[in-house]
A and B are shown apart, each in its own frame.
Chain A
Amino acid sequence: MKKSVIYFMCLFFTAGISSCVKEDFDPSEADNIVDLGGGTWAEGSIDKWINDSLITPYNINVKYKWDAFEDIGDITYITVPPKEEYITPILSAVRKTWINPYTTVASPDFFNKISPKIIYMVGSPALEESGAIKLGVAEGGKKIILLAINYTKVKGMVDYNVADSFWIKQMFLTIHHEFGHILHQNILYPIDFKNLNPSLITSNWQDYTDEEALRDGFITSYSMNTIDDDFVEMISYLLVNGDAWFEEILASIPDGISDRGTTRDQAIARLRAKRSIVVNYYKQAWNIDFATLQQKVRTAVNTLLY
């Protein structure tokens, strides 16, 4: 008896439950969800410029209007949106110093296949309690976040002077740095690079100055963060600052032994080795002549800054 009651129960329950899901879905109620597919606004001249100059040729969209849900690495940063008058001059500079060199030296196909698809622009830098400032973030090869737009003037803008070039130069470095990451995430650099100075890699890179890093054979202190960063810092600094600058930097390394035991000759040899691995990598992995690319970037940078 007991058993049959339970079976009976089970039966009813099944019936009860299945009757609950028999509900017709009325799609008419879902067809006007507010802002489904993203925010919309009346398009202006900036939107048109972005559409004509970046979306159509390269499928790169630019978000310059504030979006509270964009994540710049840490939700607690207080930031503000960019000033409108800075947007197209900066994007145009980005196109000249990054997109154009790659599309001409390599090919539009190569670039479109591999380039990040969203650029998000933020007006202020991300200021940290420690006093550090963050200028750029990249997310998994899909999006590059450019910070400090409101400080980044290019030649031709009101009140521009050469001292302002610091910010825009940082931005070029950021973009080439992040693009470098995408390159090696697609085709890894040779293992030789990893073996150059693995013991000097440290997440405490902030404790070292650029000069100290240089004495250990790193182009910047941030290069010490990871081997990947070392690789892409080499790319960005070589492209934006050029070979002449590189030679000057090497010459500036003082005699003696660094705190972490690197001699001047070792540091110079390491940096030269890194440079030649980068140059070979561009040729072998992507069939790009690094010197030509470098020259195109340098020319564009110089026209925009000085």
Chain B
Amino acid sequence: MRKLIIYIVLLVVTISSCRKEDDHLFSESPDERLSKKLSAYQEQLSGAQYGWRLIIEPAGGGAYGFYVKFNNDNRVQMVSDFDSASAVTLKESSYRLKALQQPSLIFDTYSYVHVLADPAPAVNNGVWAQGLLSDFEFFFNDSSGVDTIQLTGRVNGSKAMLVKATQQEEEGYTTGEFNVNLFQNIFNKILQYFKQFTVGGQSYDLNFNLSTRMAIITWTDSQGNAHSFTTKIYFGLNGIEFAQPFLAGTTVVTGFFDPVWSNLTQTISGNVGNGTNASIKGVIKPQVLDTEAPRRWWQRMVDEDGYWVSLTGFHVDGVDDAYGLTGIENFVALSFFPKFGTSGGITYDLAGYLMNEDGTLTLSFGTAFRAPTFTADGRIRFGNYLGDLGDIPDDAVDPYVNTAIKMLESDGYYLVQISEDEYDMVNASNARAWIHWFAP
């Protein structure tokens, strides 16, 4: 009997659990809500009278600035800061809003947005079969507002943001005024590797890398502690813009705008947004120096029994590959092997030339230096010239000798670690010569 009661109770539970009410949690069906959401986004995108600024931060790194204008018929016009041509050539392509897993914005025929995602290295200098790991299908994030829309790439997870443009911005971007070389040209007037950025009476070290589109700002506070801030950068109508704003004391730095070069003071003056003036000038030595970097750089390839590589050799006084290494027939790269070998009881380092000999990468010749010394203030001084290894081809003699002489500069070099596998080696005497080393 007790069992029966239990069964009856169970049955009641079973039956009542079948009560199926069809009330939605929301007043409309999912499809109705989705459809409304898509129409609202459509209205927002094409309703912006002066279009939008679009900033894409590909998963592969850096940031890129666009101006886009959507119409109601699935067409979009744009310019992009990818290169000087794309900045002034307005191109039209197609877009659509679609319900994928979320409401999504798809650029569905080729445009400047796709240039970043193109899998061919010839298009964007990216990785074979991957490009810059950017996106052209984005879903709308919930945090979007009326004047800004936050997007996330569906395949690689790139970040993107649409910001409503002003009438002035629309005019600038659509009439060929977007000059991405302007900042670069002015910036290149500074011949020193190290740059000092001054805003609100305070100075910072500034490392702009316009090709990887990254900026690193470092400084020492009043207690002598070193700080560092990193942001992605992209080009805007009036200068360079920071993807993440930097707080300089109480001043919010959103970029560096309206740059003007003064030959007299060798300084770039401009502002950081909100009308606050700022300047950039070259310096020989930065505030914050990684004094351990030279030894770390050298020791790493000793430990790995490997070598550092540079594709272009020295940059000197504003000229890339100043000694013409890439002009040597079959030249592939300059390499540096710490503790390459021993000769007459002397262990030596080698600046070796990697050549393409019938399709095989070969260490053909190089300069041997005695062991380097490391100074307390963070410099490496290469040891005295010991000799040449291998036969130096005639067309390599000048580049070879100039490079060796430069390496032997008595003040030596600072090393700046750019990433896990990259260092810039900057001459300490005037900071106007440097070489970019990476681990192959």
A binds B: yes
Binding site for B on A (CB under 8 A): 5, 8-9, 12-13, 15-17, 19-20, 23, 26, 29-30, 32-35, 39, 41-42, 44, 64-68, 77-84, 123-125, 127-129, 131, 150
Residue interface bits B118-139, CB-to-A below 8 A is 1, else 0 = 1110000000111100001100
B100 and A68 contact, CB distance less than 8 A: yes
Which A residues are in CB contact (< 8 Å) with B75?
A: 42, 44
Which B residues are in CB contact (< 8 Å) with A128?
A: 129
A267 to B247 alpha-carbon distance, docked (Å):
75
The total of interchain contacts (Cβ-Cβ below 8 angstroms) comes to 113
B120 and A16 contact, CB distance less than 8 A: no
- 29 A-B residue pairings within 8 Å (CB atoms): A5-B4, A5-B7, A9-B7, A12-B11, A12-B15, A13-B14, A17-B18, A20-B20, A34-B31, A35-B98, A41-B73, A42-B73, A42-B75, A44-B73, A66-B109, A66-B136, A66-B137, A67-B108, A77-B129, A78-B131, A78-B155, A79-B119, A80-B117, A82-B110, A83-B110, A84-B110, A123-B110, A128-B129, A131-B128
Which A residues are in CB contact (< 8 Å) with B283?
A: none
Residue interface bits B81-110, CB-to-A below 8 A is 1, else 0 = 000000000000110101110000011111
Known interface pairs A20-B20, A64-B109; A9-B100 also in contact (CB < 8 Å)? no
B338 CB → nearest A CB, Å: 32
B108 and A66 contact, CB distance less than 8 A: yes
Partner of A127, one of B22, B29, B129: B129
A34 and B38 contact, CB distance less than 8 A: yes
Known interface pairs A39-B96, A39-B98, A80-B117; A23-B129 also in contact (CB < 8 Å)? no
A166 to B20 alpha-carbon distance, docked (Å):
65
A38 CB → nearest B CB, Å: 10
Which A residues are in CB contact (< 8 Å) with B114?
A: 80-81, 123
Known interface pairs A34-B99, A84-B93; A41-B110 also in contact (CB < 8 Å)? no
Which single residue of chain B is at the shortest CB-CB distance from A26? B22
Counting chain A CB atoms within 10 Å of each CB, which of B98, B110, B154 scores highest? Answer: B110
Within 8 A of A (CB), among B149-172: 154-155
A8 CB → nearest B CB, Å: 8
A218 to B29 alpha-carbon distance, docked (Å):
61
Within 8 A of A (CB), among B10-44: 11, 14-15, 18, 20, 22, 29, 31-32, 34-35, 38
Which B residues are in CB contact (< 8 Å) with A33?
A: 31
A81 to B93 alpha-carbon distance, docked (Å):
11
Which A residues are in CB contact (< 8 Å) with B276?
A: none
Which B residues are in CB contact (< 8 Å) with A65?
A: 94, 96, 108-109
Within 8 A of A (CB), among B413-436: none
Partner of B22, one of A23, A44, A78: A23
Known interface pairs A80-B114, A81-B108; A16-B11 also in contact (CB < 8 Å)? yes
Which B residues are in CB contact (< 8 Å) with A26?
A: 22
A5 to B6 alpha-carbon distance, docked (Å):
11
A83 to B31 alpha-carbon distance, docked (Å):
33
Indicate whether B74 reaches chain A with its CB closer than 8 angstroms. yes
A157 to B117 alpha-carbon distance, docked (Å):
25
A127 and B120 contact, CB distance less than 8 A: yes
A271 to B18 alpha-carbon distance, docked (Å):
73
- The interface on chain B, measured as residues whose beta carbon lies within 8 A of the other chain's beta carbons, has a size of 43
A265 CB → nearest B CB, Å: 34
Counting chain B CB atoms within 10 Å of each CB, which of A12, A68, A78 scores highest? Answer: A78
B139 CB → nearest A CB, Å: 12
Which A residues are in CB contact (< 8 Å) with B32?
A: 32
Which B residues are in CB contact (< 8 Å) with A30?
A: 31
B232 CB → nearest A CB, Å: 22
B45 CB → nearest A CB, Å: 14
A20 and B110 contact, CB distance less than 8 A: no
Which B residues are in CB contact (< 8 Å) with A20?
A: 18, 20
Which B residues are in CB contact (< 8 Å) with A82?
A: 109-110
Which A residues are in CB contact (< 8 Å) with B118?
A: 80, 123-124
A83 to B94 alpha-carbon distance, docked (Å):
10
B73 CB → nearest A CB, Å: 4
B28 CB → nearest A CB, Å: 9
Partner of B29, one of A19, A29, A64, A78: A29
A150 to B3 alpha-carbon distance, docked (Å):
76
B411 CB → nearest A CB, Å: 45
Leading 10 A-B pairs by shortest Cβ distance: A42-B73, A127-B129, A65-B108, A66-B108, A41-B74, A83-B110, A34-B99, A20-B18, A80-B114, A78-B119
Which B residues are in CB contact (< 8 Å) with A150?
A: 110
Which B residues are in CB contact (< 8 Å) with A131?
A: 128
B18 and A16 contact, CB distance less than 8 A: yes
Counting chain B CB atoms within 10 Å of each CB, which of A33, A34, A35, A80 scores highest? Answer: A80
Within 8 A of A (CB), among B31-79: 31-32, 34-35, 38, 72-75
B20 and A80 contact, CB distance less than 8 A: no
Which A residues are in CB contact (< 8 Å) with B154?
A: 68
Known interface pairs A9-B11, A65-B109, A66-B137; A42-B74 also in contact (CB < 8 Å)? yes
A13 to B12 alpha-carbon distance, docked (Å):
10
Known interface pairs A42-B74, A84-B110, A129-B129; A68-B96 also in contact (CB < 8 Å)? no
A33 CB → nearest B CB, Å: 5
A84 and B109 contact, CB distance less than 8 A: yes
Known interface pairs A29-B29, A41-B94, A80-B114; A66-B106 also in contact (CB < 8 Å)? yes
B188 CB → nearest A CB, Å: 31
Partner of B110, one of A34, A39, A81: A81
